[in-house]
Chain A
Amino acid sequence: MTSLLQPNLILATLLFTIGILGVMWKRNAIALFMSVELMLNAANLAFVSFAHELGIMSGGILVLFVMTVAAAEAGVGLAIFIALFRARRHIRVDEHDTLHG
């Protein structure tokens, strides 16, 4: 069977790049975070395909850790969104420019 490593790495890099673009371009809090999830998935793909190519069966280990971290991040992140949303609920969006990015 031909090695899928190279196309898989390119796929991972593409997904990662799309994730970066999402973080740069998106204007919606949740969509931003989804782009970050896309980047983490790209990292997982790279890791699994490396492990497969090198014949290391435990390549899934990193995926498990990344998933745990992603779940933890999702929990905290979505809680932060809720807090942010509550803090600015009564105020029109463009008036609430308190921090200058």
Chain B
Amino acid sequence: METAAYVPAINLHGILPFISLLAGGMLCLAADAMSGKEGSRRILPVISFVALAAALVSFLLPGYPTGSFLENTFYSDSFSRLGCIVILVSAIATTLMGPRQVIRRNLPSGEYYTLIVFAALGMVLLALANEMLSAFVALEIMSLSLYVLTGIDRRSGKSAEASFKYFILGAFASAFFVFGSGFLFGSTRTTFLADAHNYFATRGGNMPEGAEMWAFIAFGLVFVGLCFKLSLAPFHMWAPDVYEGANTPTTLYIATGSKVAAFAFLIHFAHAFSSWQIFTAPVTFIVGLIAVASMTWGNIAAIVQSNLKRMLAYSSVAQTGYMMIAVMVLVALPSLQAAGNLNATTIANDTTLIYNAISLYLAGYTIISILAFGIAFHIGGEGSMAAYRGLFHRKPFAAVGMAIAMFSLSGLGFLPPTIGFIGKFYLFKEAVRFNMTGIAVIGILTSVIAAFYYLSLIVTMFMKAPDEENGIELAGRREERIAGLGGGDAIVRVMLATATALIFVLGLYPGLFTGLAAKAVTTKPMTTAMVKK
């Protein structure tokens, strides 16, 4: 058989972030092998920080490709670009907390930083993926790194159990994902989402009866798989245990990076189906159901938690529920267009508006999480509520920072506007604009429930007298004194101050963030690259 040498179409700028992350991971391994324990503790944070920052910069540089690239396997639009920026910011925050965490718990620094960088690679790949197999492999790169990061603290029994539970339920979710990919392949004959989009656009009206059902099954199974990763309501049972058992930087990473990545892929995946008329109504309903379940159950269960990390886990279930409102609106858009309410030019604008609303919300969620988990990390005590009693009298700055995070997370801080409030505001505004007032109202009502536990934490921090008897905060301090804490403390402080500043700056000028992708905002139909083929 004679075949000419196959030269894949590669856009160098497009894969620059991947290259820098891959090189960063490799360098971490090599540097760890070449230097001693102390040396690698000093060098590796720098290497992984530089790699992550380089990837971040290459996303920010003008001229990052839009549309399909690298063999149509990836698709970059304004949302996935902003998603990647958010992912890398959360990875950088995790790295910055690294030096202190490594010393505190005597972690193997080589593997710790390498896995952070590789997990970031998996997340970025997943956020851009537009093909089921690549998405699956990227998902696994991300997940395997996170399972190990969760269990990397070998001195803690909780950590091993959390890692195990995360692993089993993660593998369970992956199986759903693969089974769904199989059904998508069966109904559309391809694993490329751009092709699937084309298929639904051209043949969606007269598909064979079997294939129609399979497409629904495919969406359902992949959606369930992603729901596990996003810890949405009926599939969130791993989240509280994993958040509590994992070390705090990893918890932050799981709560923000992995969610943003899975969410970005969900948007790509749902987009592939969006050209299919009969798809929108039932799927809007199902997504709405999941959103309502997550918002209510997450917020109600958060009230009774006695551990800050568990509370934040349930709170993040609710926050992801709010994000699903945006997915609902996006899925419903084409049917609104078909009903004659919108024309083709406004649909592009509307898609951009919704993308901006979600990415602002995701960015807000991530920055606030960085602040909240960062302070939890700073205080120590593995998130036990006892450590926060009367915190204001011991560590006023930490208490004020946590209060800002809680105010912002609850969406209450509108004077001055925080990014948490602005993100929620735009999200609900888009929902109301597209006649989804019901779910917006549920969202606002559950936010009021949420305010209860956020505020009760603030009250705990400010009102109660410091409880000198409880040993948790003292134990944390003792541990640090023994370990001989280095300069890692100052870095974490600077990071927390930056996060606090961003909460207010982006709250006042949300355009600063969404503008990052402004040059890339061309909701070019996903099919352009396919014509070339």
Contact = CB atoms under 8 A, between A and B. Distances in A.
Direct A–B touching, Cβ under 8 Å = yes
A81 B160 CA distance: 8
Given A65-B133, A73-B171, A88-B157, A16 B179 contact: yes
A62 B191 CA distance: 9
Pick from A72, A76, A88 the residue with the most CB of B within 10 Å.
A76
A68 B178 CA distance: 13
Contacts of B162: 99
Interface residues of B, number: 38
Given A65-B136, A84-B164, A46 B157 contact: no
Contact of B175 (A19, A29, A32): A19
28 contacts: A12-B182, A16-B179, A20-B172, A32-B168, A40-B178, A42-B175, A42-B179, A43-B179, A47-B181, A50-B185, A56-B189, A62-B133, A62-B178, A62-B191, A65-B133, A65-B136, A69-B136, A73-B144, A76-B144, A77-B167, A80-B163, A80-B164, A84-B151, A84-B164, A87-B157, A88-B157, A98-B158, A100-B241
Given A77-B147, A98-B161, 4 more contacts: A39-B176, A40-B174, A44-B182, A76-B144
A99 B244 CA distance: 8
A51 interface: yes
Contacts of B161: 84, 87, 98-99
Contacts of A62: 133, 178, 181-182, 185, 191
Chain A interface category by residue count? 35 or more
B163 A83 contact: yes
A38 B163 CA distance: 21
B172 A66 contact: no
Contacts of B23: none
Pick the 6 closest A-B CB pairs, nearest first.
Answer: A50-B186, A39-B175, A47-B182, A43-B178, A46-B182, A43-B179
B219 to A, nearest CB: 15
A12 B148 CA distance: 31
B154 interface: yes
Interface of B: 133, 136-137, 140, 144, 147-148, 151, 154, 156-158, 160-165, 167-168, 171-172, 174-176, 178-179, 181-183, 185-186, 189, 191, 237, 241, 244-245
Nearest to A76: B144
B183 A83 contact: no
